[in-house]
Amino acid sequence: MNNNVIIFDTTLRDGEQSPGASMTGDEKLRIAKALEKMRVDVIEAGFPIASQGDFDAVRSIANAVKDSTVCGLARALDNDIDRVGEALKNANSARIHTFIATSPIHMRMKLRMSPDQVLEQAVQAVKRARKFTDNVEFSPEDAGRSELGFLCRIIEAVIDAGATTVNIPDTVGYNLPQQFGELIGQLIENVPNSDKAVFSVHCHNDLGLAVANSLSAVINGARQVECTINGLGERAGNAALEEIVMAVTTRQDIFPCNVSHIDKAQIVPTSRLVAGITGFAVQPNKAIVGVNAFAHESGIHQDGVLKSRDTYEIMRAEDVGWSTNRMVIGKHSGRNAFKTRLQELGITFESEADLNQTFMRFKELADKKHEIYDDDLQALATSTNLETENERVKLIALKVCSETGETPNALVTLNIDGVEHQMSASGGGPVDASFQAIETAVSSGSYLQLYSVNNITSGTDAQGEVTVRLEKGGHIVNGQGADTDIVIASAKAYINALNKLLIPKERQHPQV
């Protein structure tokens, strides 16, 4: 009997609702492919009615992903549902997820509807969604603060109308583990047709309990968990996929189900991909995917681990994809060795031209840096993929002058819409001067919200990986750049962000 918990990833939808985490269509597609590779069951690709860009992203994911079910979110409204149906038209396996709020406060204050009206709209929405697919999920939003009697009534009605998954969201992250587990148990017991649908949970982390609440729900009968990579999501985020998967895997003595279908070795690479694209760095002590998650600092621990790993380790770092980060190839390695290592790391390119370009970059890097590690290759691949976007601004050259007692100065040469421009500026430091020069040339009028530098590997010759977050009129974008010279990496990241900002974007939020 298949006793797997369905892993429903909503990084691309709820995750993207974190302020500052917006992603381009290409970036979403790359994350979707990484999730498919991890063998996630369902990928919630977005909220198609939000904007044309969101619709296009959901459609391109639906067209490209073959092994996971692709899902789109819709409020319980005809236009929303039709838009999802249209976006998922070519999906191998499609799901429509429709929702309406059921808590007294949401129904009264937000919807200004009576419970009966809400129930009727939910039923109509599920029936409409069933015209497009027989895989329909219904969520009573804010279920965690809804009345049990009304929840049972609406759930029974939507299952009768054709919902195959019923998702119970703790929208505001208010519940406690025991209480939430009991809620799921009571719903499964009291809804007469509960055996006709899979019960799912969707927990927010406002009290830091999203994972604990989800796991308690699984123990009480839920068989789908909605989660995100790195716990990204609205406000304090959603339940972290990596924690759910590894808790269920590690505590098989407790869970009556498993997640054996998930390729756990993809967890760390996917976490890094999401952190790089969104600019939301993973805290070092974050479970599973933080850099310190498997580091043993104290002498006693190190001694224990050396004698027998399981004295202090309940999971193995390599099982979740922490690479040994070995030195792979050097300056004299050929294209074939390079390509083989990329394949081993699961890095693929859309075209042979992209592979060749990355190989050229690898050679340039090998000239500057003696030892090339797996993480360097990941960064090279990311920077090649970044360039597939429609770039209006390109960096041609950058010269910076930084000297004790002098004001740093930068001279930048850019190609903007096919025309070369040169601009110089001074600033508090070489990065500041470079950004001033670029901004003077582009005149974006944007505001720098975040600037962060990470070294990809150790050593002073390591590549610096820079994230820049820009905001203009409520539109927030993230840019990335990597180079052994961190001033150049910073300029690349700034320009990458500017290119995204120059694409106009307007979108609706599903819960507003």
Token output for 135: 């895989």
- 10/378 with CB nearer ligand KIV: 10
Q: Which of 25, 46, 72, 169 binds ligand KIV (CB under 6 A)?
A: 169
Indicate the DSSP class of residue 266: G
How far is the C-alpha of 207 from the C-alpha of 442, rounded, in Å?
A: 43
Please tell me the number of Cα atoms within 13 Å of 107 on its side-chain side.
Answer: 19
Strands in 464-472's sheet, in edge-to-edge order, are 447-455, 464-472, 475-483
Q: Which of 14, 80, 156, 465 binds ligand KIV (CB under 6 A)?
A: 14
- 151/381 with CB nearer Zn ion: 151
Please tell me the number of Cα atoms within 13 Å of 263 on its side-chain side.
Answer: 13
User: CB under 5 A: which stretch of 6-14, 342-350, 421-429, 446-454 binds Zn ion?
Assistant: 6-14
How far is the C-alpha of 241 from the C-alpha of 324, rounded, in Å?
A: 23
The CA-based dihedral angle spanning residues 262, 265, 267, 272, taken in that order and rounded to the nearest 10 degrees: -150
344-362: b (≥16 Cβ within 10 Å) or e: ebbbebeeeebbebbbebb
Question: Judged by CB under 5 A, does residue 376 bind Zn ion?
Answer: no
- 22/139 with CB nearer ligand KIV: 139
Indicate the DSSP class of residue 108: I
Q: Which of 202, 223, 469, 500 binds ligand KIV (CB under 6 A)?
A: 202
- 33/95 with CB nearer ligand KIV: 95
Smallest gap from residue 202 Cβ to Zn ion (A): 6
Question: Judged by CB under 5 A, does residue 137 bind Zn ion?
Answer: no
Token output for 213: 């609440």
Residue type, position 381, single letter: A
Selection from Zn ion, ligand KIV, none that 139 binds (CB < 5 to 8 A by kind) is ligand KIV
Selection from ligand KIV, Zn ion, none that 99 binds (CB < 5 to 8 A by kind) is ligand KIV
Closest-CB residue for Zn ion? 14
Contacts of 176 (CB under 8 A, 6+ apart): 207, 209, 213
How far is the C-alpha of 148 from the C-alpha of 477, rounded, in Å?
A: 41
First-to-last C-alpha distance (Å) of the chain: 41
From residue 178 to residue 197, what is the string marking binding to ligand KIV with x (rule CB under 6 A)?
--------------------
Contact 288, 299 (CB under 8 A): no
- 184/393 with CB nearer Zn ion: 184
- 228/270 with CB nearer Zn ion: 228
Selection from Zn ion, ligand KIV, none that 141 binds (CB < 5 to 8 A by kind) is ligand KIV
Question: Judged by CB under 6 A, does residue 99 bind ligand KIV?
Answer: yes
Token output for 268: 């760390």
Token output for 239: 């339940």
Q: Which of 69, 171, 270, 478 binds ligand KIV (CB under 6 A)?
A: 171
Q: Which of 16, 27, 141, 242 binds ligand KIV (CB under 6 A)?
A: 141
Sites for Zn ion among residues 12-31 (CB under 5 A): 14
Residues near ligand KIV, by CB under 6 A = 14, 99, 139, 141, 169, 171, 202, 204, 510
Residues near Zn ion, by CB under 5 A = 14
